[in-house]
Structures are given as C-alpha cells and as structure tokens.
Amino acid sequence: MRFSAKNSSVAPRLLPALLAVVLMATTAGAATLSESYPDMKASIFASSLLEQLPEGNLLQAGEITVTQEDFDNHVKKMLDQLSEDTFISYLDLLEMFSLEQIISAEVLKEESKDELSEEELKALFKKYAQSIVADVSVSDEEALAFYKENEGQLGQHDFNEIKGELKRMMKPQKSQTVWQEHLQSLGGRIPIRLQEDWVKSQMEHFQSNPIEMARKSGKPVFVDFSATWCGPCQRLKPIVESLEKKYGDQITILVIDVDEQRFLAQGYGASSFPYLLFYDKDGQEAGDIRGFVPEAELLKKFKSLGVE
C-alpha cells in the first residue's frame, strides 16, 4: 500500500497498526534468556527477550536504554570495590545497574528524580520496598514444617513454646524471597530486551565459573552457599567439612562465601542462606535445599546421587 498527499488522512489511522505488525515481526522469533540458557531461569532477566538491538545498546526496557558506554563507566566504578578472587558476571552487573533504573521508574512514576533530595529518594524507595512485603506473614503450618525439619537443632522445646519465636525468625527470610520474586516479575510487566550477541559472549564467560567447571567433572556436585554472619551456615560448616573428608573423592564439594562471590550467589538464585545446590554426575540439576539440614539428610541426598 502506498500513501500520497491524496490519502494522507488515512495514513495516521493506519500507522499504529502497521507499527504493531512490524514490532510483532521483529520480536516474534526472539527467545527469552531462560529459553536460550535454561540455567539462567533464576535470573531477574529470565523472561527478557534476546534481540539485535541498535549498535551500542545493551538493554532496552520501556523508555530506559542502557548503552555500552553507560555500562562500561559503571563497571569501572564497581571493579574498585571487588577483590581479585571475585568471579565477575557482567550480565549480573548489567542486571543490577539497569534494575535500579527500572525500579526508579516504578517508584517515581510522575515525580522528577532531579527535584527530590537524596533523603527523599531513599524514603520513597524504602516505602516502595515495604509495600511489596507488607503482607508477608509466616503461617502456623510453615513454622511447624520448619520445626520438624530442624527439630534436632531446637533442643527439647515444644513447638507451641517457640512457635512465635520461629515465626519472627522466619519472616525476614520469607520477605527476602517475596522481594526477589517481585524483582523477577518486573521482566514480565516491563518488557526487557537484551543485546543478543553481547549476552552470548557473557554466557561463554559464565561457563568458566567454578560451579560450571565442576559440573563438567563427571562427578556429582554439592554447592553450599554460605556466609560467616549466618548462624545456620556456621552450624552446617563442620558437617560439610566432615563430608568432604569422607566423600571428597566421589563428589565435588564447593563452599561459596556469598560476600566474596555475590555474583555467583545471585546467578544461582541464592537469596537466603545456607542455600544448597546439587548436580548429578552428568551435570544435570538434582535439587536444592534452603536452610540448615542435618547430616543424615545430606547423606540421603548423596546416596541418591550415587555417593556411598
């Protein structure tokens, strides 16, 4: 169809429809990050589309665009804050960098960022985050399940005696999970598009991290994401060390300090600790566990992976 001066009044009415057709044709064949790279299903970018964006652009989300130059400048600042042993995931760095802008758009809406003081901005972000987790509560059933799973570590206390304390202890962790799920849902509510070729190069780099290398070893893998400030992590530590001495020749055991390796923690969905991941001898996912688990349960899991 051709438009001329004679039918110019028709063109404006048809233009939106034509643009929609062009957009659909452009994105119809685009795969999401998790479709192309299933191991990235825990990423906040999981539902993002991989496309050929204009040269120099790494990400587009609504009116937000992150260029290679923007990102490079951000990376230079971040590298000064990281130790030499930190595995750097530039995809996760892009995620954190762009997420701040995406959330800003959600928080500010009609307000201008330039017209707000730093304290006012912090207050708005805090209010926004609190609104997401405001309704989080721990049910009696959830508390009882936790009690049964950890009964051996809770002494001789009756469940009803410590139910309130358990709920208070579990609520921050559940709030963190709800917040993480909210962040992941942003990709579904605000279409995010990533530069396909750049993502491919970053995924090749991702394959060089210690967990991915261990998955190629031909042995089962047990990954323990922990932190020095985490009480349950420290209770688990001697158990893991003992298991490594007994079964280290049959299974690869990796203990990841989440403060030193925050990109690995983020990339594998470790939002609460300890977080335990398992892979079979073929490198396939074989389940995960959140929170402390007694040695007997770990031995049962090891046995299911062929470790005797």
> Out of 61, 143, 223, 233, which one is annotated catalytic?
233
> Out of 221, 230, 258, 270, which one is annotated catalytic?
230
Q: Please state the pTM of the whole predicted model.
A: 0.68
CATH number of 209-308: 3.40.30.10
Our answer to whether residue 233 is catalytic in this structure is yes
Our answer to whether residue 230 is catalytic in this structure is yes
The residues of the chain scoring below 70 in pLDDT are 1-29, 110, 152-155, 187-188
CA distance 294 to 262: 25
- pLDDT at residue 227 in the model: 94
Domain residue ranges of the chain, discontinuous segments joined by +: 5-135+184-203, 209-308
CA distances from 115 to 100, 108, 119, 128, 279 (A): 18, 11, 12, 18, 50
- pLDDT at residue 12 in the model: 37
| Cβ-contact 305, 280 below 8 angstroms | yes
Token reading at 13: 């009415």
- The mean of the pLDDT values for the chain is 85
